Amino acid sequence: MTTLDAAPAVVREQSPVDGEPCVLLKLGEVVLKGKNREQFERRLADNVRTAVRPIARVDVIRRHGVFVVRTKDADVPTVDRLAERIGDVMGIVWAHRAWRVGKDLASVERVALELMEGRTGSFAVRSRRRDKRFPMTSTELDRHIGALVAQKYGQPVKLKNPEHTLSIEVDRDEVFVFSGGLPGQGGLPVGMSGRALVLMSGGIDSPVAAYRMMRRGLRVDYLHFSGMPFTGPESIYKAYALVRELDKFQGGSRLFVVPFGKAQQQIKSSGADRLAVIAQRRLMLRTGEVLARRLRGTALITGDALGQVSSQTLANITALDDAVELPILRPLVGMDKIEIMDQARRIRTLSISELPDEDCCTLLAPRRAETRAKIDDLRQIEKRLDVGELADQLAESVQEHRPVYGDAAAS
Ligand code: ATP
Ligand code: MG
């Protein structure tokens, strides 16, 4: 995560100000109203508390459109860690490390001067009042504090694109003063949209697909198919490492692993030939559907992008949808590989995905894969295989893992 306009070290080391360091959160999707908004805020506050539990016990105070995160005996390094961690919680747009001071002008002046000390370059003061009873208007406050800082340190005021922004937010019981902040993920709080199962390979795409759906409020579980017993366990280690990284966005992640090698061999010997890849993907989806129902998930998620590989043509995607009743969500369907890789880098899964492994799909890749799979042909093959029974057996054979963000590498 990048720090925008971070406070200089000199500010962090000293804290003689008569305020309390805290984290001020700006929430996403503010257009939500009524009952939805209530649900959004409640869920988000819970998710914030859970995410930071390893760092500190916090109070999350809900105000109109913002949250204040406070902790007893807060010091600046702890608050920095809290802000950093909260930046991964879905539903937050900005995390500001702020000073919480009394509602009097003298306190605001003191903290403002303190925060701007040692900075060079232009600045602007941006005030807003959530409590309109404060005796000065926002503009008066901007002018007053701006003049004070300019006079003391000689920095020029610049309203458009200043190098530093000093924010002053007047609230019901206190005033928050801060400069800069950490950009959050935006989106909706995890859990608000229900639960779904991600088909998770060791590749680049599926982790990004998981991220994008968590960001729309889904809580996700993960299902990985390994080529075991005909491949080594490397792909499982990768899936584990990926889920552990992605766990920072929701907590409590579960990874289910199915040894898929024998089923793949059955597909191969069924004479599926050019249809083997699609038949295999359909079996993965069917197995996913059985497992999702058991976990009370109501959708499957994959990393398919239209046209990216031969199994992802429109005809083949249609043939995949035909295999299951649950909706298949494909958040990457319209994205280019470059865009997907950029996102993978940002969420820090790319380097894990790029580690070498033996993907189970290479076990039965035919010389030429079908790009226009016919559903009737697939059904013929599946009849010979008794896929319903096979999917049930595979879903029975899952091994469950609980990768936790921040845990030492287990692989
Ligand atoms: P990825 O980068 O996610 O591996 P891909 O470009 O390699 O995707 P495919 O191999 O065709 O594309 O897989 C498409 C989707 O099918 C994946 O995004 C994933 O959701 C699912 N999938 C493929 N292989 C596996 C596997 N071994 N276990 C679980 N899901 C898989
Ligand atoms: Mg793949």
d(CA 304, CA 206): 8
Q: Which amino acid appears at position 245 of this protein?
A: E
Confidence (pLDDT) at 90: 97
- Going by CA atoms, what residue is nearest to atom 24 of ligand 1? 201
Q: Identify the three-state secondary structure at position 156.
A: coil
Ligand 1: atom nearest CA of 206 is: 3
Compute, in angstroms, the gap from residue 393 CA to the centroid of ligand 2.
23
Q: Which amino acid appears at position 373 of this protein?
A: A
**Closest ligand to 203 CA?**
1
Confidence (pLDDT) at 400: 98
pTM of the predicted model, to two decimals?
Answer: 0.91
Can you give the pLDDT of all 411 residues of the chain as single tens digits?
A: 333 333 333 333 333 346 899 999 999 876 666 778 888 999 999 999 999 999 999 999 998 889 999 998 888 999 999 999 999 999 999 999 999 999 999 999 999 999 999 998 999 999 999 888 888 999 999 999 999 999 999 989 999 999 999 999 999 889 999 998 999 999 999 999 999 999 999 999 999 999 999 999 999 999 999 999 998 899 999 999 999 999 999 999 999 999 999 999 999 888 888 888 999 999 999 999 999 999 999 999 999 999 877 778 898 999 999 999 999 999 999 999 999 999 999 999 999 999 987 666 665 666 667 777 789 889 988 988 899 999 999 999 999 999 999 887 544
Confidence (pLDDT) at 4: 38
User: For the chain, what percentages of helix, strand and coil (3-state, to nearest 5) are there?
Assistant: 40, 20, 40
Confidence (pLDDT) at 2: 37
- Going by CA atoms, what residue is nearest to atom 31 of ligand 1? 201
Residue 403's Cβ-count burial label (10 Å; 0-12, 13-18, 19+) is buried
User: CA dist 228 to 206, 258, 259, 284, 359, Å?
Assistant: 20, 8, 5, 15, 10
User: CA dist 168 to 130, 264, 359, Å?
Assistant: 11, 62, 53
Confidence (pLDDT) at 387: 93
Confidence (pLDDT) at 360: 60
- Going by CA atoms, what residue is nearest to atom 17 of ligand 1? 303
**Closest ligand to 238 CA?**
1
Ligand 1: atom nearest CA of 204 is: 2
Ligand 1: atom nearest CA of 260 is: 27
Query: In the structure encoding, which two tokens stand for residue 87, read together?
Result: 């930046």
Choose which residue among 199, 300, 320 to substitute to test ligand 1 binding: the one with the highest number of ligand atoms within 8 A of its C-beta: 199
Ligand 1: atom nearest CA of 311 is: 11
- Going by CA atoms, what residue is nearest to atom 7 of ligand 1? 203
Choose which residue among 197, 204, 206 to substitute to test ligand 1 binding: the one with the highest number of ligand atoms within 8 A of its C-beta: 206
Residues with CB under 6 A from ligand 1: 199-201, 203-206, 223-225, 284, 302-304, 308-309, 311-312, 360-361
- Going by CA atoms, what residue is nearest to atom 12 of ligand 1? 304
Ligand 1: atom nearest CA of 332 is: 18
Compute, in angstroms, the gap from residue 164 CA to the centroid of ligand 2.
44
Choose which residue among 197, 204, 205 to substitute to test ligand 1 binding: the one with the highest number of ligand atoms within 8 A of its C-beta: 205
Alpha helices in 253-396 (DSSP H): 261-269, 276-294, 314-321, 337-346, 350-353, 375-385, 387-396
Buried b (16+ CB within 10 A) or exposed e, 151-175: eeeebeeeeeebebbbbbbbbeebb
d(CA 360, CA 350): 19
- Going by CA atoms, what residue is nearest to atom 6 of ligand 1? 205
Ligand 1: atom nearest CA of 226 is: 27
What is the spatial order of strands in the sheet that 399-401 belongs to? 328-329, 300-301, 194-199, 218-226, 255-259, 399-401
Compute, in angstroms, the gap from residue 131 CA to the centroid of ligand 1.
52
Compute, in angstroms, the gap from residue 198 CA to the centroid of ligand 2.
13
Query: In the structure encoding, which two tokens stand for residue 200, read together?
Result: 């998770």
Compute, in angstroms, the gap from residue 199 CA to the centroid of ligand 1.
7
- Give strand pairing partners of 328: 300
Query: In the structure encoding, which two tokens stand for residue 214, read together?
Result: 């968590």
- Going by CA atoms, what residue is nearest to atom 14 of ligand 1? 304
Confidence (pLDDT) at 146: 96
**Closest ligand to 305 CA?**
1
Compute, in angstroms, the gap from residue 202 CA to the centroid of ligand 2.
6
